[in-house]
Chain A
Amino acid sequence: MTNAFAAAGAASPSAWKIDAVFLFITGVSLFFFLLVEGLLIYFAIRYRRRKASEDAATSDVKSNTVLEIVWVLVPSLAVLAFFTYGYMVYRDVTAPQPGAADINVTAGQFLYEFKYPDGRTAMNELRVPAGRPVKLIMTSRDVIHGFFIPDYRIKQDILPGQYTYLHLQPDREGTYDIFCTQYCGVGHSTMRAKLIVMSADAYAAWMARGEGVKAAMSLPEKGKALLEKFGCLGCHSTDGTVKVGPSFKGLYGREVHLEKGRETIADEEYIRESIFDPGAKVARGFPNIMPTFKGSIADDDVAAIVAYIKTLK
């Protein structure tokens, strides 16, 4: 399967699948286009008034109920097909992939920062190994930006104050454009990055070379240091012990029972919200006494904390 669409030139499975939807809608639309425009032009020519028939009276037909029903039902079926196919592929390409590597993206006027698990940061260059799915966890430093990979046929807006996600399945090696697609100010047109898909070996070599803005420690290591620094470990354990607050062990991805009978999944957004607005979703059975860290913990630090909690399986 991989070879089939790679041979067709698609850069990733998302491109191939979305192109198939394009082809389907184009085919059906082209049929209706030729039929309807054809009739329009044909009738205009065929029934044009000729000198000889200057005074001819025309037919008095005013309506035809069967015809009305037919041309309501047929388009309805066509659009239902468009919706269904579009939805199915959308669900597919926006689904999280198992085994995905997490990369944090911070957009700001007018560049993209990519933060790798080993703690390094790269500007405007996203390097990934072919064949391994990637989950981009994205947030903005200021206004709304876009993140568009034309060759993958996918995009997602990046918002301040929350995380949005994009799931990539890098397949073919190569360099691909990343464009900002949400107007963000004077530098919008030049806010661009590159997605560089490398072979697994080349990627490993690049990692070993340690390019990019180096961090003193990896993202999870930094996260652990932050938990200690801000006193989180006073109320939360990392080994499963229940203290004042819930334990971080096994937290990420788990279903959390909240007060008032609500449920939620402990994803990146939940952890971030709990740090900045702890009263929003209080875990059932725990007191609502966690202080807010808004203003003390920076966005970048939140990403590190999230990365660390993810390691506590």
Chain B
Amino acid sequence: MTETTANGLAVPENGRSRGYLDEKGFRSWALTLDHKRIGVLYLYTTLFFFLLGGIFALLIRIKLMYPGQAIFSDQTYNVLFTLHGSVMIFLFIIPGIPSGLGNFLIPLLIGARDVAFPRLNLASYWIFVAGILVILGSLFRPMDTGWTFYTPYSAKTGANIAFLSFGIFLVGMSSILTGLNFIVTVHKLRAPGMTWHRLPLFIWGMYATSIIQVVATPVVGITFLLLAMERLFGVGFFDPAKGGDPLLFQHFFWFYSHPVVYVMILPAMGVISEVIPVFSRKPIFGYRAIAYSSLAIAFLGFLVWGHHMFVSGMSKTASIIFSFLTFFVAVPTAVKVFNWIATMYKGSITFESPMLYALTFIFLFIIGGLTGMFLGALATDVHLHDTYFIVAHFHYTMMGGTVMGLLAGLHYWWPKMTGRMLSEKMARWGWLLTFIGFNLTFLVQFYLGFKGMPRRWAEYPPQYQFLNIVSTVGSWILAGGILVMFSNFIRGLFRGDPAPANPWKGLTLEWRTASPPPTENFETVPVVTDWPYGYAKRKPADDG
């Protein structure tokens, strides 16, 4: 027999309300206006594509174990690496933390009941799904251009590029609407007393991310429309035979695609800024430096796109300017890393899974960032561009960085989102295999690239074989780690121990409500009187 809660929702028979999760049925999810449910929908969707993209990666690495091996054709390989990049970037990494964790947490962290435009939020999810379906529809003539779709090849190839362009356009539109929603939410819906300098740093990171989303994404949308027009109407924007320029496509494309890597990393850095103080029981060091560095990164990120084009045929003068500006994006990034480490100084540190992943983020992102130095410098980039060095660099920053940040966030906020605890033991095994597998897969690729192995090659001369075998074995260990981790997630959904409201003794507002939270987030809207990092004044036993 069912009872109803105070706000009229049906309570399950065992009597334990699960807050926003109580209401059942397809329509209650498909037509939900609750930012938490929309966040969960995004998480399921993006994590599905993470696994799908991962399967493509495993296939890629199998092909690369033996040069020329005919497990499948070179053309299939070419489609696979294009799908791997496109799926991972457009359907997982870009929406992952912002639309998943961001949707769930932003209102909670600022003490609001929902985002500014809940209906727009729901629309953005379904536009995302529509984009996915269109992209999947294009697969009956799959593309092999690489996720960068350079012309003239992408304008001439037999693949369904116009379809695909439209799908990406829709996915981009979804992220613009989400970004818009978040910006207005942060400006207008903060709880009483929540000044800008009392905002959690995850919010600062998400705010900077949302600005990039809104400003940069329209450019890539238009770029793909131009590409579709090129194919359908033969306009000639990018075709030299008609007076066009293939480099124009590259400028348009990278004008978005460089800022988008900051869309990928800023939310992850925001997660780290939340996790480190909690598990060090110390205030975050350099709050303003970290907050403002997010804005600096967002701004500088718009000025450096040409560093993807040093050998493209772009002018030397432009190359020099882009190289100079590129180096300066590294500085606010380094500032964050130093401040996180300073936070740990004289802290009281424990290593639950969120902290393990956060520390892993810092460790691997430093490697990714330092290898970027070789790519910003003109002389060395000329050698390394379009080799496996680049592949290793972006996997260290995107997977060692963003994905580890997402995993830290998932492990950290899992109890809040699901009302259950994950198994720490399984989490640690998953972490260990992931860490070992990741490094084995990608570290050797720096050397492969330096020795000249080009990227996007289905086969290669024999001198590169040994390290390719090592890398493939690494990918299997990495896959094992992901498998353990996702098993933990599935177990955690159904059999995890019930979670208290504040298992990690955090001070941000989401921990002041039940796990999982009620639909309206807070019984009463909190009044904020202090910043959320005052750990040092308390002993751990004081936080309940």
Interchain CB contact under 8 A, A75 and B331: yes
Q: Which residues of A contact B536 (CB under 8 A)?
A: 57-61
| Residues 13-72 (chain A) with a chain B CB within 8 angstroms | 17-18, 21-22, 25, 29, 32-33, 36-37, 39-40, 43-44, 47-49, 53-64, 67-68, 71-72
Q: Please measure, in the bound complex, the distance between the C-alpha atom of A264 and the C-alpha atom of B285, giving whole angstroms.
A: 55
| Residues 426-476 (chain B) with a chain A CB within 8 angstroms | 450-452, 454-461
| Residues 156-179 (chain A) with a chain B CB within 8 angstroms | 156-157, 159-162, 164, 177, 179
Interchain CB contact under 8 A, B367 and A143: no
| One of A147-155, A198-206, A224-232, A255-263 at the interface | A147-155
| Residues 361-385 (chain B) with a chain A CB within 8 angstroms | 362-363, 366-367, 370, 373-374, 376-383, 385
Q: Is A233 an interface residue (CB 8 A)?
A: no
Q: What is the chain B residue whose CB lies nearest that of A48?
A: B349
Q: Is A93 an interface residue (CB 8 A)?
A: yes
Complex partner residue of B286 from A63, A87, A143, CB under 8 angstroms: A63
Q: Please measure, in the bound complex, the distance between the C-alpha atom of A83 and the C-alpha atom of B287, giving whole angstroms.
A: 30
The contact string, 1 if C-beta is below 8 Å from chain B, for chain A 113-124, is 000000000000
| One of B170-178, B339-347, B395-403 at the interface | B339-347
Q: Which residues of B contact A25 (CB under 8 A)?
A: 373-374, 377, 380
Q: Is B393 an interface residue (CB 8 A)?
A: no
Count contacts between A and B, CB distance < 8 Å.
252
| Residues 168-199 (chain A) with a chain B CB within 8 angstroms | 177, 179-190, 192
Q: Is A288 an interface residue (CB 8 A)?
A: no
Q: Is B150 an interface residue (CB 8 A)?
A: yes
Give the total of A residues in contact with B, Cβ under 8 Å. Answer: 80
Min CB distance, A174 to chain B, in Å?
15
B positions within 8 Å CB-CB of A:
74-75, 78, 144-146, 150-153, 156-157, 240-241, 243, 246-247, 280-289, 311-313, 316, 319-320, 323-324, 327-328, 330-331, 334-335, 337-339, 341-342, 344-351, 359, 362-363, 366-367, 370, 373-374, 376-383, 385-387, 450-452, 454-461, 533, 535-541
Interchain CB contact under 8 A, B362 and A57: no
> Of A60, A90, A93, A277, which is in contact with the most chain B CB atoms at under 10 Å from its CB?
A90
Interchain CB contact under 8 A, A72 and B456: no
Residue pairs across A and B with Cβ atoms less than 8 A apart, 20 shown, are A33-B366, A36-B338, A43-B347, A43-B349, A47-B348, A47-B349, A58-B535, A62-B285, A71-B335, A75-B330, A79-B328, A86-B381, A87-B377, A93-B382, A94-B382, A144-B152, A155-B311, A155-B386, A157-B311, A188-B78
Interchain CB contact under 8 A, A63 and B316: no
Interchain CB contact under 8 A, B323 and A18: no
Complex partner residue of B454 from A53, A148, A162, CB under 8 angstroms: A148
Complex partner residue of A68 from B289, B312, B316, B456, CB under 8 angstroms: B289
Nearest first, the 10 A-B pairs at minimum CB distance are: A161-B240, A150-B452, A86-B377, A90-B378, A79-B327, A89-B379, A181-B386, A60-B536, A153-B383, A189-B457
Interchain CB contact under 8 A, B380 and A22: yes
Interchain CB contact under 8 A, A76 and B331: yes
Interchain CB contact under 8 A, A144 and B377: no
A positions within 8 Å CB-CB of B:
17-18, 21-22, 25, 29, 32-33, 36-37, 39-40, 43-44, 47-49, 53-64, 67-68, 71-72, 75-76, 79-80, 82-83, 85-91, 93-94, 142-144, 146, 148, 150-151, 153-157, 159-162, 164, 177, 179-190, 192, 277
Q: Which residues of B contact A21 (CB under 8 A)?
A: 377, 379-380
**Would A160 and B152 be within 8 Å (CB), given that A63-B288, A80-B327 are in contact?**
yes
Q: Please measure, in the bound complex, the distance between the C-alpha atom of A29 and the C-alpha atom of B368, giving whole angstroms.
A: 11
Q: Please measure, in the bound complex, the distance between the C-alpha atom of A234 and the C-alpha atom of B60, giving whole angstroms.
A: 59
Q: Please measure, in the bound complex, the distance between the C-alpha atom of A72 and the C-alpha atom of B151, giving whole angstroms.
A: 40
Q: What is the chain B residue whose CB lies nearest that of A163?
A: B313
Interchain CB contact under 8 A, A150 and B150: no
Complex partner residue of A177 from B450, B452, B539, CB under 8 angstroms: B452
Q: Please measure, in the bound complex, the distance between the C-alpha atom of A63 and the C-alpha atom of B197, giving whole angstroms.
A: 14
Min CB distance, B20 to chain A, in Å?
33
Min CB distance, A255 to chain B, in Å?
18
Complex partner residue of A277 from B243, B381, B383, B450, CB under 8 angstroms: B243
Interchain CB contact under 8 A, B313 and A157: yes
Interchain CB contact under 8 A, A63 and B459: no
Interchain CB contact under 8 A, B351 and A48: yes
